[in-house]
A and B are shown apart, each in its own frame.
Chain A
Amino acid sequence: MTTTPTSDATTPLPGAGENAVLAEVTEALHAVLPEIGLEGTAITMDTRFVEDLDLESIDLVTLTGELGHRYGDRVDFPAFFASLELSEIIGLSVGQVVRHIAGCQG
């Protein structure tokens, strides 16, 4: 059992299942870009952060902060993003991040 540095101890830990992680990533995305929720854009595993959602780099960094808040040290998001080439970041999909998180938890 790993411990989590997340301050909000009442929130149940997201499960390792990809659906649970997808829900968590979607929630983090809505925290970063509230207008995504307003526009009713559906977030799927195929949604691309830059190409489809038009996230800018400060949004991506905010997203890593949000996800870091949720998953703590178990997932090194800055290292994950730093490992990607620019072209990979532009094409990065929600599914890739979800699978990375699920992999780190498994």
Chain B
Amino acid sequence: MATRSDGNVVLPVGIREIRYHGPEPTAGERLECHVRITSLTETRLAADIQLSHRGTVWCEIDGWENRRFDSPPATDAIRRHPEHSTLARVQPGGWHLVFEYWPDPASRELMMRNVLGGAERDAYAARPPRGRHQWLLGRIAAKDAVRHHLWQHDAGPVFPAEIRVRNDDSGRPHPEGVHGRELPPLDLSLAHCAEAAVALVRPAGGAPVGIDIEEIAERPETTRDAVLAPEEHPLYDRLGGGARTLIRFWAAKEAAAKAEGTGLRGRPRDFRVTTADGDRLTVRTPSGRTHPVSLAEVGNPPGLRPRRYIVAWTEDTHRQHHEEKPS
């Protein structure tokens, strides 16, 4: 077991047989314990155990069985020092990214208990099974982004359960402190897709926050016309077209729409990508504002189904963010 880097979190699920060969030792007596691993699979660990008292076997346990849970090294720190560590990792550009390192549903339940407070666990349980794991991932990314921000500003230990994310009537997420934790005013945006989630946190009143993540995948022909206005086609074609370019445009529009606080309102074509410069797109929203949006490409880590994603987030460039007259 000690040679394995994953599956080291175990809980007992069964015992085949216990045989006692003498009276129960009194409290405080020292026993010797010998464990022989009899089988080890991806999800199960079985062992026979012998307890000896002063050189004489007192008790034999056969078929002690443990359930093994997904616990790759990336999850070690949050289990051991949750108040000092995150599952999500900060990325160039200041946003946070987390992957679902625990594809097995039972392992996810264990991780859920590590990161959610009581009220959040009820909210989790009330969600429909489809999409529940992504909701959890989004919460983790948001909590970690907020805690990272607090640590950057000299906060001491902050447990994941001290941060809660509330959605207002328009769907916008707001971080709150619980259990006595006070938060400075923060703006938060988060997004999830398949086995990944991202979050972006900035002091309230600064550059508007909007972030999106979308898988790079082929989509039906009709998607392009539903996403792009005719005016965007020349730029889209010049950038090579295809699924990747379409997802880059889409994610940039989503990020800008979130930064506006409105969402796309079912009309992605009204959010126009007007210029492109490498990994930066400019999006003009129906209000006439323009948002510079940065893009990055990330992929699932080994062990998860291979996928590539586009992440888009609004840049923190006050000077470039100004009102323009609608054309």
Contact = CB atoms under 8 A, between A and B. Distances in A.
Contacts of A89: 266
A57 B227 CA distance: 11
Given A58-B250, A81-B266, A86 B171 contact: yes
Given A52-B130, A58-B214, A65-B220, A86 B226 contact: no
Contacts of B222: 62, 65-66, 68-69
Interface in A41-85: 50-54, 56-58, 60-62, 64-66, 68-69, 77-82, 84-85
A31 interface: yes
A44 to B, nearest CB: 15
Interface size class on chain B is 20 to 34
Contact of B223 (A56, A61, A79, A85): A61
Contacts of A58: 214, 219, 223, 227, 250, 254
Given A58-B214, A61-B223, A86 B170 contact: yes
Contacts, number: 68
Interface of B: 128, 130-131, 134, 169-171, 193, 214, 219-220, 222-227, 250, 254, 263-269
Given A61-B268, A80-B266, A84-B266, 16 more contacts: A31-B220, A54-B128, A54-B134, A61-B223, A64-B266, A65-B223, A65-B224, A65-B225, A65-B227, A68-B226, A69-B222, A79-B266, A81-B265, A81-B266, A82-B267, A86-B263
Interface of A: 31-32, 50-54, 56-58, 60-62, 64-66, 68-69, 77-82, 84-87, 89
